Structure 1
Amino acid sequence: MLSQHSRYALKALLHLASCNRVGPQPIVSIAAEANVPRKFLEAIFVDLKRNGFVNSTRGPRGGYVLTRPPAEITFGQVIRSIEGPLALIGCASQKFYRPCRDCPDEGACALRRVMMEAREQLVSVLDNRTLADATSDDFCVVPELAPAE
């Protein structure tokens, strides 16, 4: 099951993807538009920045932007960066393989075969769907800037 952390990260990234040409998005706007608690979102953006998905700028016109075009960021990349492997068990993972301790014959294991098939199906969707695939430019709400004094 996808963790709340990953769900909120994807919602925030989808918001940024829809606002990609508008400029930096303040965390307050992202939290409101993506319906994510601000405090939780602050921690999520630390992870997203560390994993190379977003950059931040400070100041009155500051906020967060994607580091790459939305068409270059897949759901699979984001989920792996937060959750780790997409496979449900270690012996079915391609990128994070580890054998099961209780399995005497991995080649004959029916559980592994089914889990590998499940992983393949999941990977085929998540690694082939980008943020751009899931957004439209109509979604972005340009944040109101406070008048200069």
Structure 2
Amino acid sequence: MLTMKAKYALRTMTALARSGDARVQARQLAERCRVPAKFLETILVELREAGFVQSRRGQHGGHALARAAEEIRIGDVIRAIDGPLAPVRCASVTAYEPCRDCPDPDACALRALMRETRDALSRVLDGRSLREFADADAALSPTTMEFA
């Protein structure tokens, strides 16, 4: 399940993608994305540490994408904020942990189903760039993320 933190991160990344090369102040992002300002600060730190956002202090400072929106995959943003996409740890590629009560993970039908679910989710989220997502957002809500 997608956390509110990941939803806010995706809104923020979408707003930055839609802002082009312009740097956007955190206050403006919080207002436009309807994200609590303090929570946004935490999210921006995580996005910066993951290499998605660059920040500059000062009069001409603000936040911008660290690389082109076409190069950023939605699945990678979600993983940076929420961790693995797998619905359960035993189905994770990167954070595998067997269930304590499972006698044989290789013969577990639930694990097989959750791995299939993870693969389908990954295919969709990793197949979508931030640019495609931001363009779809703009088509659905043309003025919501515009900055003055």
**Which structure shows the higher helix fraction?**
2
99-108 vs 133-142, which moves further: 133-142
Offset at residue 72 of structure 1 (A): 0.9
Match of 2:78 in 1: 79
Aligned sequence identity (%): 44
Offset at residue 90 of structure 1 (A): 1.6
Match of 1:54 in 2: 53
Structure 2 unaligned spans of 5+: none
Number of aligned residue pairs: give it.
142
Taking structure 2 as the reference length, what is the TM-score of the superposition? 0.88
The structure with the larger Rg is: 1
Match of 2:128 in 1: 129
What is the rounded CA distance, in whole Å, between the counterparts of 2:67 and 2:16 in structure 1? 11
Match of 2:147 in 1: 142
Offset at residue 63 of structure 1 (A): 0.5
Q: Structure 1 residue runs of 4+, over 2 Å off?
A: 136-143
Q: Is the Cα–Cα contact under 8 Å of residues 18 and 146 in structure 2 kept in the other structure? A: no
Instruction: Report the secondary structure of 1:142's partner residue.
Output: coil
Taking structure 1 as the reference length, what is the TM-score of the superposition? 0.88
What is the rounded CA distance, in whole Å, between the counterparts of 1:99 and 1:75 in structure 2? 27
Backbone CA RMSD of aligned residues: 1.5
What is the rounded CA distance, in whole Å, between the counterparts of 1:129 and 1:74 in structure 2? 6
Offset at residue 61 of structure 1 (A): 2.3
Match of 2:7 in 1: 7
